[in-house]
Amino acid sequence: MSQDLLHWKQLKEKNDASAIKYFYDQYIKLLYKYGYHFCQDASLVEDCVQDLFLRLWEKRSSLGDTDNVKLYLMVSLKRSIYEKLKKNSKTTVTEEVPEDTFDVTFTMEEQIISSETDQLTKDKLLECLETLSGRQKEVIYLRFYNGFTPEEVSEIMQISNQSVRNVQASALKKMRNNMDDPLLILLVGKIIESFFTEI
Amino acid sequence: MSAIDKYIENKEFVTWVLGDVSKDDYWNKYLEENPEEKENIDKAIDWVKQVKVKDHYFSAQRERELWKEIDQKIADSNSPIKTKTISFKNTWWKYGAAVIVLGIIINFYYRNFVPQHHVDTARKGFTNNITLPDGSTVNLNAGSSISYDKKSFKAGRYISLKGEAFFNVEKGQTFQVNTELGTVTVLGTSFNILARKQKWIVSCYTGKVAVKDKDGNQVILTKGKEAVYKNGSFVTNTHSNTQPNWQKGLFKYSNAPLESVFEEIQRQFDIRIIYKDSGIQKLRFSGTISNKNLEKALDIISKSMDINYKIDNKKKEVEISY
């Protein structure tokens, strides 16, 4: 049994408060940084992190079983941030809080820039990354920079296979519009076709 | 435009390199079918892999401070789970007891203090005989109603009246009838009250009745006396009836405005009077009409006043014209 699950069990069955400390030490950095990408308000994220750990303690006897505490904490934090944002927006503006608010700033090391073309390439690449949707950015953040598996990502992001497929189909359509290679269009067309017959 | 631009400008490509495995199939196939692009793609991949994300800085100090806050709050709420369960049960008991006590109080209050208003009505076209809880009887004229509190009635006989009614009161404690303009208090007697709009006439048939208006003006009526309330004061007359005329089905008028005569007819026969010509209401009528037959009653009025009427039985309407 992993250390996480061992502590989870201790918390649930033995009311061991040190388990909270363990999870805090283990995941506070990840949680804080992840949360900050949803809402660029440090004190709100800190409040939500605090609530998350307090709830963990208060609800310890009714906590469900989980096979991955890390994912559980991330999903809970995300939910709690959205709830708080919704609450705040109710009191100030009636505007709804969009669910797709993940934001991240991409950068590149200066060392690799050796020429003007390199500078242009870099600019183009960063520009392209900026146009990604919040969900796409979140996938990249989780997969590439935090090493989560695709299964873990879909669990954290609470996306079903069906909706993943839908997103893919529309993404391919978009891509076909971007590319001008006739061979590519043919290929993409076939892939999209296969997607739709699957659905 | 450099050869790798079309890749690094392509969102699908970039997200694929940065971990979106849902695009694996597509790009692997693309590579397979475009082997000449492999070099460019590899270059593009190298580029994309240089991309970093900026995370918000979370200082070690802030990390310690936040934990202190959490730890403090955990300590504050920290009671072993066992006592927590017991205190939960305790509150259950308390809530349960509170609900029962509250129920008893509400029930007690409801039974003893909340008035239970009872209303008796005589519809238009009908009279209604009512026996009150103390045995007194009330004969309600058409289009009239009384209301009283069933619970407190025996302790203090208070009744509200709208319209006209004949009371035959059993001996006992104070019996008071409240009307819009004032009250009638008795000790065991029979009397008639007419209290409609601004009209208020009290007739005593047996015993003794005290009639009092809202300003405190009062007259005492004995058998055969009648008080008519007009412009804020009482005028006392005598009458020789043993029973109000309306109980015999008779309505006696002397120089009464036709409007009030027709109002009574509307109540007695449950019809609607429509005045086709203006001014008819103001005419004055003297005579006696019966509530047994509408046509006969209208005949008596129309002949003495020289007016015409038309009965519409379906609509229950009577048109009055010159």
Q: What is the pLDDT of residue A113?
A: 66
The share of chain A scoring above pLDDT 70, in percent, equals 71
Mean pLDDT over each residue of chain B, to the nearest integer? 83
The values of phi and psi at residue B34, to 5°, are: -125, 65
Q: What is the CATH number of domain B249-321?
A: 3.55.50.30
Instruction: Give the best residue of A144, A161, A165 to mutate against chain B (max B CB count within 10 A).
Output: A144
Structure tokens that stand for B73 in this block = 């709050």
Instruction: State how far the Cα of A8 lies from the Cα of A16, in Å rounded to an integer.
Output: 9
- For residue A53, what pLDDT band results from cuts at 50, 70 and 90? very high
B104 in Cβ contact with B129 (< 8 Å):
no
The domain A3-91 is placed in CATH, from the list 1.10.3430.10, 3.10.180.10, 1.10.1740.10, 3.30.300.10, at: 1.10.1740.10
Q: Show the tokens assigned to B154.
A: 């025996």
Question: A23 to chain B: nearest residue by CA?
Answer: B67
| CA-closest candidate to residue B164, choices B135, B190, B188, B138 | B138
Instruction: State CA B143 to chain mean position distance.
Output: 22
Q: Which residue has the tokens 């290929």?
A: A187
CA–CA separation, A31 vs A29, rounded Å? 5
CA atoms of B287 and A10, how far apart (whole Å): 102
Contacting residues of B for A53, CB less than 8 Å apart: 70, 74
Q: Determine whether the interchain pair B70/A132 forms a contact, defined as Cβ–Cβ distance below 8 Å.
A: no
Residue with tokens 């009836």: B241
The pLDDT, as a whole number, for residue A197 is 42
Compute the residue count for chain A. 199
pLDDT in tens, B235-244: 888 887 778 8
Which chain B residue has its CA at the smallest distance from A185's CA? B30
Q: Where are the alpha helices (DSSP H) in chain A?
A: 3-14, 18-36, 42-58, 69-91, 116-130, 134-143, 150-156, 161-178, 182-198
Contact across the interface for B9 and A107, Cβ inside 8 Å: no
Q: Which chain B residues are Cβ-neighbours of A187 within 8 angstroms?
A: 29-30, 33
Instruction: Supply B165's token pair.
Output: 């009614």
Burial class (CB in 10 A: 0-12, 13-18, 19+), B43: middle
Looking at CATH, the fold of the domain delimited by B117-245 is given as Jelly Rolls (2.60.120)
**Taking the domains of chain A in order of start, what are their residue ranges?**
3-91, 116-198
B24 touches chain A (CB under 8 A): no
Express each pLDDT in A131-148 by its tens digit. Answer: 878 887 887 788 778 888
pLDDT band at B82; cut points 50, 70, 90: very low
d(CA A49, CA A28): 8
- What pLDDT was estimated at residue A74? 92
In this complex, the residue of B33, B51, B73 whose CB is nearest that of residue A125 is: B51
| Amino acid found at B226 | E
Please report the residues numbered 149 through 168 in chain A whose beta carbons come closer than 8 angstroms to any beta carbon of chain B.
150, 164, 168
A191 — contact with chain B (CB < 8 Å)? yes
Domain ranges in chain B are 5-49, 60-112, 117-245, 249-321
Spatial contact of B191 and B205, defined as CB atoms under 8 Å apart? yes
SS3 A104: coil
Q: What is the DSSP letter of B19?
A: T
Residue with tokens 């590519």: A184
Q: Is the pLDDT of residue A162 over 70?
A: no
Contact (CB<8Å) B47/A121: yes
**A-B contacts at Cβ under 8 angstroms:** 144
| ipTM over the 0.90 cut-off | no
B182-to-A2, B137, B201, B216 alpha-carbon distances in Å: 89, 21, 11, 9
Amino acid at A87: K
Q: What percent of chain B has pLDDT over 70?
A: 93
Q: Which residue of A has its CA nearest to B64?
A: A25
Q: Quick one: closest CA in A to B72, which residue?
A: A54
Which residue is it, tokens 């100030």? A92
What is the phi/psi pair of residue B18, to 5°? Answer: -90, 20
- Which positions ≥6 away from B47 have C-beta within 8 Å? A121, A122, A125, B4, B8
- The H or E element containing residue B317 is strand B317-321
For A79-120, how does the pLDDT look when each residue is reduced to its tens digit (9 = 90+)? 898 888 887 776 555 455 556 778 888 888 766 666 777 788
pLDDT band at A28 (very low <50, low <70, confident <90, very high): very high
| Greatest distance between any 2 Cα atoms in chain B | 129
C-alpha distances in Å from residue A4, one per residue of A23, A70, A158: 8, 8, 21
Q: What is the pLDDT of residue A195?
A: 42
Q: Which residues of B touch A52 (CB under 8 A)?
A: none
